[in-house]
Amino acid sequence: MLNAVRRELPEYIEGYGQVKTFQGANVEQDKPVRRQVVIDKDSVDGNKVLSSLQEAMARCGLTDGMTISFHHHLRNGDHVLNMVLEEAARLGFKNLKIAASSIFPVHAPLVRHMENGVVTGLCTNYISGPVAEAVTHGLLHTPLVMHTHGGRARAIEAGDLSVDVAFLAAPSCDACGNINGVNGPAACGFLGYAIADAHYARRVVAITDNLVEYPNCPVEISQEYVDYVVPVASLGDVQGIISGTTMITRDPVGLRIAQFAAEVIAASGLLKENFSFQTGAGGISLAVAAYVREMMKKQKITGSFASGGITGYLVEMLEEGLFRAVFDVQCFDLLAVESQRRNRRHQGISASFYANPHNKGAVVNNLDVMILGATEIDKDFNVNVTTDSNGVLIGGSGGHSDTAAGAKLSIVVTKLTKVRLPIIRDAVTTITTPGETVDAVVTERGIAVNPRRGDLRQRLEQAGLLVMTIDELQEIAQAMTGKPDSLPPGRDIVAVVEYRDGTVIDVVYKV
């Protein structure tokens, strides 16, 4: 059957289940729910500290086939997922399902656990490195399930993703399980992606390298939800928190694209008092932020908020009074962690507060402008950030689809070609984000506006910007690179890409 972005999908996928087809970004299906939680606990007379992960697994009743979850605030410096799986492997557990908010290169040992049958299922919002490659090559027993950041919170709250044991990396924790992310040697900021896990998992284990005296204030995740506390020597390498790309690009082509994007924002009419804004931490995206910063200063605009993964750059804008607040679901650098520790306008938010499409209003719905990246874009403005053009998993939505759906203006910034391949395709390898939620594509050669946004096209043309059709952009690119070969049709599904509402927007085939 075809879904709303014209992908042919089976009705049933072995190891995944019945397919609910994507029907459009704003099609509400059944009335959403937050699930019932049966409170399974030991007696709770205070001290929850256990001596080892082994003891925690035993007390949680962990058995083969269960789902265990992890959050990714320590990013590529995280040792917690590896530590837990090493212990699970040593104890002979098999057939575990991993619900991780993201997977990074540091998680390479997971490949071995997949080979050995310790892990046979995985869902995540973002995946890169050796595990991504292994999954692409069919090493995982059941298809990987890709969520969006908001979609994962939704799935956990709704019960679509049922977590047996959540293992929380706790940078600061007391013996009763009160946790925060702003203190301790592995301080990584508010644990926004761990909140749904903590509230809805059957059992919750806090793993900490900073067991402090009771009570651990500020309390971000409370003792109400935590079963056990396991002290360990180290949660990971705090330098790994830093996102790979948190510097403004110096590449002249990248700067040109960023300047065009800034001009689009200026022309859109949205850059005014109470402006709100999100950008990724990529070099071009940060360059857009720099241009926006200058425009806001010049026009003496006080913005409402900046959101998302937060960098020191946005902290500076907050402190300059350019925004009244930042909404931080994850810190991208240590300046952001430090800011969150001391500034109450640097507001930590859960993944659900950030981006869950089924609550009563997520932060992404309040965004004016979102700056997005892309690996590929098709002529319907569908965007791929999940696979490369060879079909290899290299990322995933994270907040991409969520913010695109929520923001009044979502702008993809990209060079027209990368490694001698055109970015604009007749069809993208994998659809991550539906084109109906993408308003404009900004390249170094020109700007394409989604035909649904005639109003925007008109504004940009009036401002004298270099507007063209997406076909024209594609032609320019193909004149440079030639028409790329298309991938042969895939056969074995290795990943299922869920849209934020839990419907299937695409699948990824074995390479």
The verdict on 45 binding its own copies (CB under 8 A) reads yes
**Tokens linked to 166:** 């959540």
Assess contact for 432 and 497: CB atoms under 8 A.
yes
Stretch that binds its own copies, among 27-35, 66-74, 79-87, 394-402 (CB under 8 A): 27-35
Residue 85 CB neighbour total at 10 angstroms: 23
Query: Which among 237, 257, 256, 243 is positioned nearest to 312, based on CA atoms?
Result: 243
Give the one residue of 10, 17, 27, 35 binding its own copies; rule: CB under 8 A.
35
Q: d(Cα 472, Cα 61) in Å, to the nearest integer?
A: 59
Q: Which SS3 state, helix, strand or coil, does residue 393 take?
A: strand
Minimal distance, residue 261 CB to its own copies, in Å: 24
The verdict on 467 binding its own copies (CB under 8 A) reads no
134 CB-near residues (< 8 Å, 6+ apart): 111, 114, 140
The verdict on 38 binding its own copies (CB under 8 A) reads yes
The verdict on 478 binding its own copies (CB under 8 A) reads no
Give the one residue of 32, 244, 312, 490 binding its own copies; rule: CB under 8 A.
32
Give the one residue of 119, 264, 349, 493 binding its own copies; rule: CB under 8 A.
349
Give the one residue of 234, 347, 469, 481 binding its own copies; rule: CB under 8 A.
347
The residue (of 142 and 307) whose beta carbon lies closer to its own copies is 307
Task: Put residue 282 in one of left, alpha, beta given phi > 0 → left and psi -120 to 50 → alpha.
Answer: beta
Minimal distance, residue 371 CB to its own copies, in Å: 20
The verdict on 61 binding its own copies (CB under 8 A) reads no
The residue (of 289 and 349) whose beta carbon lies closer to its own copies is 349
Residues 376-395 that bind its own copies (CB under 8 A): none
Q: Please state, in angstroms and as integers, the Cα–Cα distance from residue 165 to each residue in 61, 84, 140, 175, 198, following that order.
A: 9, 11, 21, 19, 9
Give the one residue of 70, 93, 190, 327 binding its own copies; rule: CB under 8 A.
327
Assess contact for 411 and 443: CB atoms under 8 A.
no
The residue (of 341 and 510) whose beta carbon lies closer to its own copies is 341
Report CA 193 to chain centroid distance, whole Å.
9
Q: d(Cα 113, Cα 30) in Å, to the nearest integer?
A: 37
Minimal distance, residue 478 CB to its own copies, in Å: 39
The residue (of 34 and 256) whose beta carbon lies closer to its own copies is 34
**Tokens linked to 473:** 């952009």
The residue (of 327 and 332) whose beta carbon lies closer to its own copies is 327
**Going by DSSP bridges, is the β-strand pair 119-124/12-13 parallel, antiparallel, or unpaired?**
unpaired
- Mind giving me the DSSP string for 57-106? HHHTT--TT-EEEE--TTGGGB-HHHHHHHHHHHTT--SEEEEES-B-GG
Give the one residue of 3, 7, 19, 48 binding its own copies; rule: CB under 8 A.
48
Burial profile 188-227: b = 16 or more Cβ within 10 angstroms, e = fewer: bbbbbbbbbbbbbbbbbbbbbbbbbeeebebbbbebebbb
Stretch that binds its own copies, among 358-366, 381-389, 440-448, 480-488 (CB under 8 A): 358-366
The residue (of 54 and 365) whose beta carbon lies closer to its own copies is 365
Residues in the interface with its own copies (CB under 8 A) total 51
Query: Which among 5, 482, 460 is positioned nearest to 260, based on CA atoms?
Result: 460
93 CB-near residues (< 8 Å, 6+ apart): 57, 62, 63, 64, 118
Bridge partners (DSSP) of residue 173 are: 179, 211
Residues 263-322 that bind its own copies (CB under 8 A): 274, 304-305
Give the one residue of 54, 95, 359, 481 binding its own copies; rule: CB under 8 A.
359
Minimal distance, residue 177 CB to its own copies, in Å: 7
The residue (of 192 and 435) whose beta carbon lies closer to its own copies is 192
Stretch that binds its own copies, among 32-40, 100-108, 466-474, 495-503 (CB under 8 A): 32-40
The residue (of 248 and 317) whose beta carbon lies closer to its own copies is 317
Minimal distance, residue 430 CB to its own copies, in Å: 29
Bridge partners (DSSP) of residue 231 are: 208
Assess contact for 276 and 317: CB atoms under 8 A.
no
The verdict on 189 binding its own copies (CB under 8 A) reads no
Give the one residue of 10, 17, 46, 482 binding its own copies; rule: CB under 8 A.
46
**Going by DSSP bridges, is the β-strand pair 383-384/346-348 parallel, antiparallel, or unpaired?**
unpaired
Give the one residue of 77, 121, 143, 177 binding its own copies; rule: CB under 8 A.
177
280 CB-near residues (< 8 Å, 6+ apart): 308, 309, 371, 372, 373
Give the one residue of 94, 256, 324, 418 binding its own copies; rule: CB under 8 A.
324
The residue (of 121 and 177) whose beta carbon lies closer to its own copies is 177
Minimal distance, residue 229 CB to its own copies, in Å: 11
Three-state helix/strand/coil letters over 316-379: HHHHCCCEEEEEEEEECCHHHHHHHHHCCCEEECCHHHHHCCCCCCCHHHHCCEEEECCCEEEC
Give the one residue of 1, 11, 31, 51 binding its own copies; rule: CB under 8 A.
31
The residue (of 107 and 358) whose beta carbon lies closer to its own copies is 358
Give the x/- contact pattern for its own copies in 192-231, rule: CB under 8 A: ------------x--------xxx-xxx--xxxxxx----
Q: Based on the number of CB atoms within 10 Å of its own CB, is 350 exposed (0-12), middle (13-18) or buried (19 or more)?
A: buried
Residues that bind its own copies (CB under 8 A): 31-41, 44-46, 48, 176-177, 204, 213-215, 217-219, 222-227, 274, 304-305, 324-325, 327, 344-345, 347, 349, 352-353, 356, 358-363, 365-366
